Structure 1
């Protein structure tokens, strides 16, 4: 395991932005007048900001300290983002705590949260701990696969590539029967993965290239029904050894979201091959991957 250097958040040299949206999980309606208390992760007693949602369930955009921009633009052992804990509450709903929301300098992080209506226990609450970014933490490396899958023995339902409305994400390795399956809008899945695997501070063309690779990989899993043809009941996993890193309740970044919305129905392919390419990539520093994207 690497020895990571955590820059002191009180001595940061840049500012990032945060916008919070709060909806009801029961009917997806915006929750007005929800309260969000923001603390530094690791110091939950010192509230540094308290904001509220408006009539459309959205807060104002606020600025928060973040590490220097250079940390996210070149390989470095210093953590390039700050981590904050959001304590979200609203009358008639269970409290929610999101620990580890990531703030990068110069860009806007968007935290979308859905609160559960209070039922039997009025003191219950939900806690979500956001895993570290894949470019900062050492997750299991991708197991190499052919970019064009042999589906001669598969039952392929689709006669052409179709962008799905939803994907079913298995939050763990394929064989982990205890892992939860999440039904996630396709675009939201891509935005989550991109925010987990690349930095939103990168140039727009670089973000577009990585998003295109993520979408092609995902659509290969969708088109080939890779896991369903192996007897599983999901589309893709959150394990970096098999697929991409997806993190429940993590924040996304506004500029990554705009890129995904602009190219969401695109993918990479080969001449005379119907399925999208299984576009695998690695960071080229901690993990070397000859003939892959780096």
Structure 2
């Protein structure tokens, strides 16, 4: 077992951690939840104990991490992140423990926790152990597949167009492991989880964008071609790195990755005259080589050299790779108007957004309620700015593409309209 002194000797930089606690049933924030933070592997090393506020959020905590260079240099094999154990409890809810939450230097780790209401039949603590990051741990490499799937076979189920789903079903194991659990996961949450599991959040923003685009395109290919359902399975994708991506139940994500996924979530990668998203495969490029695929460490080096996301992707996949955008996004009440909403804007889209914000404010009292009058004035801008603060977006007071869809996502969650349609 790692000693406390060894951890402290290696912890020379600082990272941030914020915990968000909501009800699994209502998606409402849980106020006053108690969170104890300790070093993983040293359970008696309680570092801090904090409580959640009216938005179900802890303060942003500063925690010790290994040096930043560990996550930026592929030749350094030391673990680049610190691991912390979080014990979360609240009156009337089952206690949850997350062991191995990863904190990297210079970025904010976000631990989202959903607590289940206490049932008389079950009062056991729910324990989640987060395994090693794929760039540090030992995982099987991707088994090569064709990047474009045949879709003319008899009985083949294929969507008529590319759709960004609201949920996907993740099989937490290899395809033939019938003992593995299936999880219903929001699409954006899935992408954030995979990216946080497979690349380091300290990497250049355009490297993160290139990798997120590859992860999303691969996932949407599985959705579009109904790949596993056509083989008789009842899930969309697996958590096996040999077949798909690494997805980890209840793992933390990172702010640098979360913001980029919210920015790009409707995009995927295309080749000319091919309707389906491209199955963009990749490997780490250090322990595993993969000619004609993107390497994660290589993409990091290109990002540091100033390459744009599409330049990184074309470097590996060829010059006929393009970024495309899905025309249909499932589970949203209404699509983005196509332009930013700010002070002076008016009309039905403004009114709809105001109505959704007021519903959200019923669950998140820090967000001021406003008159749903269809006029974007200072009060609306102030409410939007608080919403952006609570949900980790740039605090501009303007409803841009990312904010519009984040409002839709949270509105659907707290109003439960998804169950009614």
TM-score (norm 1): 0.96
Aligned pairs for 1:183-262 within 5 A: 183-262=184-263
Calculate the aligned-residue CA RMSD, in Å: 1.1
For 2:124 and 2:281, the matched residues in 1 are separated by 41
Classify the secondary structure of the residue corresponding to 2:27.
Answer: coil
- State the shift of 1:8 in Å: 3.2
Deviations, residues 190-225 of structure 1 (Å, cap 9, x unaligned): 000000000000000000000000000000000000
Corresponding residue of 2:160? 159
What residue ranges of structure 1 are gaps of 5+ in the alignment? 1-6
What residue ranges of structure 2 are gaps of 5+ in the alignment? 296-421
For 1:276 and 1:119, the matched residues in 2 are separated by 44
- State the shift of 1:240 in Å: 0.2
For 1:144 and 1:8, the matched residues in 2 are separated by 40
Q: Which runs of 4+ in 1 moved over 6 A?
A: none
RCO comparison, higher one (Cα < 8 Å, 6+): 1
For 2:278 and 2:125, the matched residues in 1 are separated by 42
- Identify the range of structure 1 (242-251 vs 157-166) with the bigger mean alpha-carbon deviation: 157-166
Aligned residues: 288
Greater fraction of residues in helix: 2
**Alpha-carbon contact 1:156-1:224 (below 8 Å) kept:** yes
- 1:170 paired to 2:165: no
- State the shift of 1:156 in Å: 3.0
Classify the secondary structure of the residue corresponding to 1:259.
Answer: helix
Deviations, residues 231-284 of structure 1 (Å, cap 9, x unaligned): 000000000000000000000001100000001111111100111110000011
For 2:287 and 2:260, the matched residues in 1 are separated by 27
Corresponding residue of 1:272? 273
Aligned pairs for 1:11-90 within 5 A: 11=9, 12-75=11-74, 76-90=76-90
**Alpha-carbon contact 2:151-2:158 (below 8 Å) kept:** no
- State the shift of 1:107 in Å: 0.1
Corresponding residue of 1:181? 182
Please say which structure displays the higher CA radius of gyration: 2
For 2:103 and 2:288, the matched residues in 1 are separated by 25
- State the shift of 1:121 in Å: 4.5
